[in-house]
């Protein structure tokens, strides 16, 4: 079994909207150049979709900061440049965790981050940022569409996003390991120095995670508090063979737990 990176990232469904806007920071390392297509993301969208920038509950922001710190520690220690995020089942909180981790690192650490929606059958990152898109990873995988057309730059310095886009013509071979390996190589060339965070489908559904995860330096496993059953974890672990699982994140933590327990991860 893997380490728990953060035991609790939880928030109530009815959180009051915050007013904090995404911090303006500069990227570390490479000179600033127009790497992506600038897009607008209203704070109201960030509030509605629980993105950092729209959150005001300090406990939740602290939980994400802790996640960022622990992930970055391992990223730096192990020279990780590609990090997947998956979970056993649908709706465990993979996309929100991946997105808020990406925002937190880009904004808080001056570290460029590329967030890639690799859940190409059920993409959600464009929706999370309130974006209407013309191209996404599905187009690249099915039609070899130009990556330059799909790298978006939300108004958070250092954050780049490649949305997914469902394509009916997506075949298992579209997500072959070799194709994914080529994609990762191209992304690294396109944004040198960026941490690439890949939002993946549920590990227990379809074979996409099996194609993706071995091509990544490490993978975070999101576990949904009270929803992920032990039996699911037992089914997931063999699928993670050959995958460098960096740790687990307990999502949907109970608001009722005491503050000490809340941050009680290792």
SS3 84: strand
Closest contact distance (angstroms) between CB of 49 and ligand ATP is 6
CA atoms within 13 A on the CB side of 106: 28
Which segment (69-77, 88-96, 237-245, 256-264) binds Mg ion by CB under 5 A?
A: 88-96
Q: How far apart are CA 50 and CA 249, in angstroms?
A: 17
Widest pairwise Cα distance in the chain? 51
Exactly one of 87, 95, 104, 248 binds Mg ion (CB under 5 A); which one?
A: 95
- Contact residues toward ligand ATP (CB under 6 A) are 9-11, 50, 87, 90-96, 119, 122, 124, 202, 251-252
What are the Cα distances from residue 156, in Å, to 92, 186, 220, 250, 263?
25, 23, 23, 26, 27
Helix (H) or strand (E) holding 82: strand 82-86
**Site stretch for Mg ion (CB under 5 A), options 36-44, 120-128, 187-195, 237-245:** 120-128
Query: Measured from the CB of residue 89, what is the shortest distance to Mg ion in angstroms?
Result: 11
From the list 87-95, 105-113, 187-195, 214-222, the region that binds Mg ion by CB under 5 A is: 87-95
56: which 2 tokens?
Answer: 């005001």
CA separation for the pair 92, 82 (Å, rounded): 21
50 binds, among ligand ATP, Mg ion, none (CB under 5 to 8 A by kind): ligand ATP
Q: Of 27 and 199, which CB lies nearer to ligand ATP in the complex structure?
A: 199
For residue 50, state whether it binds Mg ion (rule: CB under 5 A).
no
Q: How far is CA 46 from the centre of its chain?
A: 15
Four-residue CA torsion sign, 127, 125, 114, 179:
negative
What is the separation, in whole angstroms, between the first and last Cα of the chain? 14
Q: With CB under 5 A as the contact rule, which of the stretches 32-40, 73-81, 118-126, 135-143 interacts with Mg ion?
A: 118-126
Site for Mg ion contains 100 (CB under 5 A): no
Q: Does 94 bind Mg ion (CB under 5 A)?
A: yes
Binding of Mg ion by 89 (CB under 5 A): no
Q: How many residues bind Mg ion (CB under 5 A)?
A: 4
| Residue 82 binds which entry of Mg ion, ligand ATP, none, CB below 5-8 Å type-dependent | none
Binding site for Mg ion (CB under 5 A): 94-95, 119, 124
């Amino acid at each position: 079994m893997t380490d728990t990176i953060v035991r609790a990232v939880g928030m109530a469904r009815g959180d009051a909207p915050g007013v904090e806007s995404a911090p303006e920071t500069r990227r570390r390392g490479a000179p600033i150049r127009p790497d992506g297509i600038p897009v607008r993301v209203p704070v109201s969208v960030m509030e509605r979709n629980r993105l950092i920038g729209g959150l005001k509950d300090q406990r939740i922001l602290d939980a994400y900061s802790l996640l960022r710190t622990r992930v970055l520690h391992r990223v730096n220690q192990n020279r990780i440049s590609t990090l997947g995020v998956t979970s056993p089942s649908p709706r465990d909180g993979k996309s929100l965790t991946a997105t808020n981790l990406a925002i937190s690192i880009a904004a808080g650490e001056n570290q460029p981050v590329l967030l890639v929606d690799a859940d190409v059958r059920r993409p959600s990152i464009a929706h999370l940022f309130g974006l209407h898109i013309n191209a996404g990873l599905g187009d690249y995988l099915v039609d070899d569409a130009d990556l330059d057309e799909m790298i978006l730059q939300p108004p958070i310095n250092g954050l780049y996003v490649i949305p997914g886009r469902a394509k009916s013509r997506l075949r298992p071979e579209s997500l072959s390991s070799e194709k994914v390996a080529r994609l990762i190589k191209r992304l690294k060339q396109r944004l040198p120095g960026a941490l690439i965070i890949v939002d993946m489908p549920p590990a227990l559904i379809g074979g996409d995670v099996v194609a993706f995860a071995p091509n990544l330096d490490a993978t975070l496993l999101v576990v949904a508090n009270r929803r992920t059953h032990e039996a699911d974890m037992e089914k997931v672990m063999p699928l993670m063979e050959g995958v460098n699982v960096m740790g687990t994140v307990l999502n949907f933590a109970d608001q009722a737990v005491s503050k000490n327990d809340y941050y009680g991860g290792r």
